[in-house]
């Protein structure tokens, strides 16, 4: 029982979805007039051009309705009446143009185009009628086409200028100019060619003024080239000389620095020698005055006699030692001075 109820509920939802989908299709496709309020407008065209029921209708490019049918306008007038239903909330100005623009692929675009501020609108009681016009297919937008048309009209107004340009560039010889015709661009070019040929002949002839002038100019150019070469060589020599002078100056500067160092050392040594001389002079003065050990040695006679006696004693001691050593070497170490050892008899 519960499963049956579920199936019924699912079925109702599916049915509701189908009904809603159908309503949406009817709304957007505009099939039923009772869904959206509309009013009828009839537009006249020279031919049907493939317009059929269901064709979209636009106002300034915005969709506002659809075609519900196409009927012949005979015998009233040649062409057809296009029966259209326009949305109720859309107003079509009286000044609007009903245009059927054929595309490059053969389709037709129906559009109410407004180019002015509207002073009134078509009635909505079904009696509205409007004349239409057919425009051929175009690869360019209408504004671009309008500019092209303006450009063509401008070119047409420039006819006299075009004739002047034609007169300026048409072929004309120098003989025709000499005969009385006005000079133009073609004759000017030919005159330039003649002048260039004359100048070339003058240059190629060494005896002509132009040839001599060219020879003189060539010689001057060669001399100038040689002068520039000599100048470059001289400049190179100057650069080498400057480099030598610079190196010599560097060496001289080093020699001066070394001489300055030696002079400073000599000055220092002279000052030290001066100090030593001063010290020796003071020492001599002290010795002369009997100051210090050396001064007392030189100035004190007693000390001098004592030192003399000491030297004499040392000299006698040295002689005695020498004699004793000689005796020991000759007579033996046990010998005594003044006695000789006894020799045993036979």
Domain edges within the chain? 37-139, 202-273
| Predicted model pTM | 0.36
**pLDDT values of the chain reduced to their tens digit, one per residue, 346 residues:** 556 677 776 777 778 888 887 777 666 555 444 456 899 999 999 988 889 999 999 999 999 999 999 999 998 899 999 999 999 999 999 999 999 988 766 788 999 998 888 899 999 999 999 999 988 776 555 555 566 667 666 666 666 666 666 666 677 787 887 888 888 777 777 777 777 777 777 667 777 776 677 777 777 778 877 877 877 777 787 778 778 767 777 776 776 677 677 667 767 877 776 777 777 667 666 666 666 666 665 566 666 677 777 778 887 887 777 777 777 677 665 555 555 545 444 4
Phi, psi torsion values for 239, nearest 5 degrees: -65, -40
List of residues 6+ apart from 23 with CB closer than 8 A: 35
Closest by CA to 53, choosing from 37, 70, 38, 41, is 70
Q: Count CB atoms within 10 A of the CB of residue 276.
A: 10
DSSP code, position 139: S
Lookup: tokens for 285: 């003065």
Q: Count CB atoms within 10 A of the CB of residue 86.
A: 21
Q: How many residues does the chain have?
A: 346
Phi, psi torsion values for 45, nearest 5 degrees: -130, 150
Residue that has been written with the tokens 């509701």 in this structure: 16
């Amino acid at each position: 029982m519960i499963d049956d109820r579920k199936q019924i509920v699912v079925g109702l939802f599916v049915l509701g979805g189908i009904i809603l989908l159908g309503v949406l299709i009817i709304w957007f496709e505009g099939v039923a007039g009772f869904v959206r309020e509309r009013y009828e407008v009839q537009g006249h065209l020279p031919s049907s051009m493939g317009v059929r029921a269901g064709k979209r209708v636009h106002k300034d490019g915005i969709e506002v309705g659809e075609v519900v049918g196409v009927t012949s306008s005979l015998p009233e007038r040649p062409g057809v009446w296009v029966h259209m239903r326009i949305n109720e909330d859309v107003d079509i100005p009286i000044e609007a143009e009903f245009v059927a623009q054929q595309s490059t692929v053969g389709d037709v675009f129906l559009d109410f185009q407004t180019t002015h501020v509207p002073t009134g609108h078509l009635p909505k009681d079904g009696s509205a009628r409007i004349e239409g016009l057919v425009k051929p297919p175009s690869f360019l937008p209408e504004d671009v086409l309008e500019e092209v048309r303006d450009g063509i009209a401008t070119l047409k107004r420039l006819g006299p200028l075009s004739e002047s340009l034609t007169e300026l560039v048409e072929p004309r010889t120098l003989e025709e100019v000499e005969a009385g015709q006005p000079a133009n661009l073609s004759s000017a070019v030919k005159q330039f060619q003649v002048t260039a040929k004359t100048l070339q002949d003058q240059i190629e002839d060494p005896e002509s003024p132009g040839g001599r002038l060219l020879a003189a100019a060539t010689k001057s150019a060669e001399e100038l080239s040689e002068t520039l070469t000599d100048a470059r060589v001289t400049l190179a020599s100057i650069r080498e000389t400057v480099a030598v002078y610079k190196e010599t100056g560097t060496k001289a500067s080093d020699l001066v620095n070394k001489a300055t160092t030696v002079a400073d050392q000599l000055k220092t040594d002279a000052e030290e020698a001066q100090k030593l001389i001063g010290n020796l002079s003071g020492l001599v003065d002290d010795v002369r005055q009997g100051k210090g050990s050396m001064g007392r040695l030189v100035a004190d006679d007693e000390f001098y006699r004592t030192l003399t006696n000491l030297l004499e004693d040392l000299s006698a001691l040295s002689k005695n030692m020498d004699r004793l050593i000689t005796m020991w070497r000759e007579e033996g170490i046990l010998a005594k001075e003044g006695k000789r050892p006894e020799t045993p008899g036979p």
